Structure 1
Amino acid sequence: MDKFRNYDIAFSGLKDGKHDFRFEVNQAFFNLFETEQEFSNPKIIADVFLDKHSTFLEFEINVKGSIQLVCDITLKDFDYPIENQIKVLVKFGEVYDDSDVDIITIPHKENAFNIAQLLYEDIVLTVPMKKVSPDLSQEDIALLEKFSPQEDEIEEQEDEIDPRWNALKNLKK
């Protein structure tokens, strides 16, 4: 039994035209992938719009909700809003091919398209590299400013040239 079958969109019995689907994305969804996430407590709704044509399928996937992140500065949990949209064109061919980001080819014999991987990647890629709570206190901000490099320090570092690089310049001559 395929653990991702709940995320199949069966298109073979659908008439040409527009169709709407809705998926709840929670921790159980991410547990299916057996990977560690940088977030917890996902509460996300994925609205999937399918425009079926006779020779191809157009998908628009809108995700909206929140995840819980740990602030890099305070180490406190905070809710981070997730909102993103992707569009994917699914065409039919001999073999499965997802090498193009915007166009996926599936075999002619398929009667459903699974969106689990698309949802997973879409959500995971919206997680910021730097996780800073929007509710930093004035003390936290003061500490950040105290230990952050000042602009004049950065300019000094950029002006200093390592003497080894100067020696390399002489090799060109």
Structure 2
Amino acid sequence: MKKLRDYEIGIAKLSNKKHAYEFEMDDSFFALFEQEIILGGKLLAKVELDKNESLLTLHFDIKGHVRLTCDRSLEEFDQPVDVEETLRIKYGPENMELDEDLWQITPETQTLNIAQHLYDYIGLSLPMKKLHPRFVEEQDEEDEQDILIYSSKNSGVSDGDDDSDDDEDIDPRWDALKNLN
């Protein structure tokens, strides 16, 4: 069984250049996190770390599939995953997240654990509505039929009020906007 330590990168002894790493993620990886969305999967993460004196740049390329539960039929299915993300880490007085793709660590930090980053990138790549592939075409057809068309012009339906003299009371500044078609 994999442990979080399997996803650590020792950054203290690295020279200032590019380094390449590969991490395999399977069912035991997703068991490390308290969640019920991703049931398992098989993915390969290629991580390129570019180190210099003041900044670490990690480029993640994650490919594979995860096993999800369909929201409609409750059947399990494999969802393909293809993610490319970049994380920048700078040195500072304390460990903290500065932005979603910018972190700060202390210069004394010896190792960098990227397990949570891998899990987050995978989770964010998943669709909000998890549908089995056999329902995807059906869902696309429903989406096309539910198109809402909005028109600000009077559709000819009268509710008893006659608004035809509203055009005469329009502010002249708005008249100029009518010509912007």
For this structure pair, what is the TM-score category when the shorter chain's length is used for normalisation? Answer: 0.7 to 0.9
Over 3 Å counting, the alpha-carbon distance change for 1:151 and 1:83 in structure 2 is closer
**What runs of 5+ residues in structure 1 fail to find an aligned partner?**
156-173
Q: 1:55 to 1:87 in 2, by over 3 A?
A: same
**In 2: Cα distance, 1:119 partner to 1:23 partner:** 9
The equivalent of 1:90 in structure 2 is 89
Partner SS for 1:125: helix
Q: Between Structure 1 and Structure 2, whose CA radius of gyration is higher? A: 2
What corresponds to 2:70 in structure 1? 71
In 2, distance between residues paired with 1:93 and 1:25? Answer: 31
- Give 2:109's aligned residue: 110
User: Could you tell me which residue of structure 1 aligns to residue 133 of structure 2?
Assistant: 134
Question: Following TM superposition, by how much is the alpha carbon of 1:137 offset from its aligned partner in structure 2, in angstroms?
Answer: 9.6
1:139-170 per-residue CA deviation (whole Å, 9 max, x = no partner) reads xx49x85xx9x649x67xxxxxxxxxxxxxxx
1:122 match: secondary structure: helix
Paired with 1:4 and 1:20, the residues of 2 have a C-alpha distance of 19
Corresponding residue of 1:8: 8
Give the count of matched residue pairs. Answer: 148
Provide the TM-score with structure 2 as the length reference.
0.71
Measure how far apart 1:4 and its partner are: 2.2
1:75 Cα shift?
Answer: 3.0
Q: CA deviation at 1:100?
A: 1.1
Can you list the C-alpha shifts for 1:87-111, whole angstroms capped at 9, x where unaligned? 0111111100113112110011112
2:9 is the alignment partner of 1:44 = no
How far off its partner does 1:80 sit?
0.7
Q: 1:137 to 1:29 in 2, by over 3 A?
A: closer
- Cα distance change on mapping 1:137 and 1:89 into 2, 3 Å: closer
Conserved 8 A contact 2:30-2:38: no
Deviations 1:29-48 (A, max 9, x none): 22222x12313221111111
For 1:95 and 1:137, the matched residues in 2 are separated by 46
Cα distance in 2 for residues equivalent to 1:47 and 1:37: 25
Q: CA deviation at 1:118?
A: 0.6
Decide whether aligned partners of structure 1 residues 122 and 151 sit closer, same or farther in structure 2, where only a CA change above 3 A counts.
closer
**Runs of 4+ with >6 A deviation:** none
TM-score by length of 1: 0.74
**Equivalent residue number for residue 161 of structure 1:** none
Q: 2:57: which partner in 1? A: 58
For 1:7 and 1:137, locate their aligned partners in 2 and report how far apart those are by CA, in whole Å: 34
